[in-house]
Structure 1
Amino acid sequence: MELLNFILDLVFWGIVSWFVFTWLVSRYLESRQIGQVVRDLDHEQLIPLTVEVDQDQYFCYNSITKAFVCQGYNLKEIVERFRQLYPDKSAAIYDGDETAVRILKSQLKELGENFSSV
């Protein structure tokens, strides 16, 4: 009976340790990602975008400076134009028209591409 309790304790603490370890690793990776975003913003390598819609076209503005960045009829066109204007920078859709943000994010999923710029 003592051997069974020892094995059960060992399994229990092994599972607890695994969950604690994975939680710590995920928190570490999350903090690194947040740190990278902050560094990119500080070094002006990342442009957070605010999206507005006028008729069928999306207009993207720098969320910080409010300056116009680019426009397009869909995400693919926005990415192409952004890369032409800012080849050494990246962008992230930060806020704006809720419907537009949702549509552009769904287009990203549909394209199945990993856009490094937007």
Structure 2
Amino acid sequence: MLDPELKTEFQKINSQFQNVHGELTYMHVRFDTIEESIESLARSTAEGFREVDARFQQVDARFLEIDERFQKIDENFKVIDTRFDRLDSKLQNQIDVIMERKADRAEIAPMKAQLRNLQTH
């Protein structure tokens, strides 16, 4: 069973992944909106150039917003990566302790057997 600190770390990582998932879902909707805007622009006529320009500015603003969100997601992934590194280190330390205990038991077992043999004679 994991110790409470590791469980807490896993919960923090899960929360971070949920934040990233929410951002990606939001960005998917924004990309759909951009795609619809671009398709609408393609259907525009020569007399609607001013409208087209305004829509391009909207699309540009949306792309800037999406870029900022990607940067936030990148930062979140860096945090997650750092947490996984710490978690990996803690897990490796626990494995090392377990292996040391196992090695100590293996060294003690022959001595116990010899002691039992001496006691029976």
Q: TM-score range by the shorter chain?
A: 0.3 to 0.5
| Greater relative CO, 1 or 2 (CA 8 Å, sep 6+) | 2
Q: Which is higher, the Rg of structure 1 or of structure 2? A: 2
TM-score, normalisation: structure 1:
0.37
TM-score, length basis structure 2? 0.36
Larger helix proportion of the pair: 2
